[in-house]
């Protein structure tokens, strides 16, 4: 099995607890996921983030709904958590989210190790499309996160999907 990885870092100027709280609400994944993926959580709400939590959701790839199930395998608030794919489009998916206070604010880091199914065909698809698509998803997330965590918005509470859908 050929493993690939993607890494993303950014710095935001918010308290560590606020940043971690935002990311530890699975409902906020919909906010930071590109709309073309039609991300939708299937698990009953409210979701409680903790080690051992299982989250079911769907995404669409080429307009085909894909069921994705993740397990929170490590949870250390407010510093990190890890989600691993149990079921989904990858042969292997291990996503580590870390949050670290630094002089400039909070450094958010995502490290994903993943494997693609279908052997050499999967590797070709990774080279032609998947790698670029994952980079675009993380770039999109960076832009959205930057909007939520700007200095100008420090007094604004973070939206959650429950609150947004109630409006």
- Does the residue 166 lie in any domain? no
- Does the residue 147 lie in any domain? yes
**pLDDT tens by residue, 64-103:** 999 999 999 999 999 999 999 999 999 999 999 999 999 9
> What does pLDDT average to in each consecutive run of 10 residues of the chain (167 residues)?
96 94 93 95 94 97 93 98 97 98 96 96 95 96 90 55 36
- Does the residue 162 lie in any domain? no
- Does the residue 20 lie in any domain? yes
Q: CA-CA distances (angstroms) from residue 70 to 9, 37, 105, 119, 145? A: 22, 17, 29, 23, 22
Structural domain span for residue 103 = 3-153
Instruction: From 16, 77, 88, select the one nearest 50 (Cα to Cα).
Output: 77
> Cα separation of 136 and 26, whole Å?
20
pTM over 0.95: no
Question: How far does CA 159 lie from the centroid of its chain?
Answer: 16
- Does the residue 161 lie in any domain? no
> Cα separation of 20 and 98, whole Å?
9
Split into its structural domains, the chain has a count of 1
Q: Give the domain CATH number at 149.
A: 3.30.530.20
């Amino acid at each position: 099995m050929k493993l690939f990885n993607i890494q993303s870092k950014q710095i935001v100027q918010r308290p560590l607890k606020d940043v971690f709280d935002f990311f530890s609400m699975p409902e906020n994944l919909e906010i930071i996921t590109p709309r073309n993926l039609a991300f939708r959580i299937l698990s009953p709400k409210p979701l409680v983030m903790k080690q051992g939590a299982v989250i079911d959701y769907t995404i669409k790839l080429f307009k085909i709904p894909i069921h994705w199930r993740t397990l929170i395998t490590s949870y250390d608030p407010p510093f990190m958590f890890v989600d691993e794919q149990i079921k989904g489009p990858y042969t292997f998916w291990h996503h580590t989210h870390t949050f670290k206070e630094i002089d400039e604010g909070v450094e958010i880091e995502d490290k994903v190790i993943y494997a693609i199914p279908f052997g050499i065909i999967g590797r070709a698809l990774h080279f032609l499309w998947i790698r670029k698509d994952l980079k675009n998803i993380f770039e999109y997330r960076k832009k959205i996160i930057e909007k939520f965590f700007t200095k100008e918005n420090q007094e604004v509470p973070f939206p959650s999907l429950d609150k947004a859908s109630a409006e």
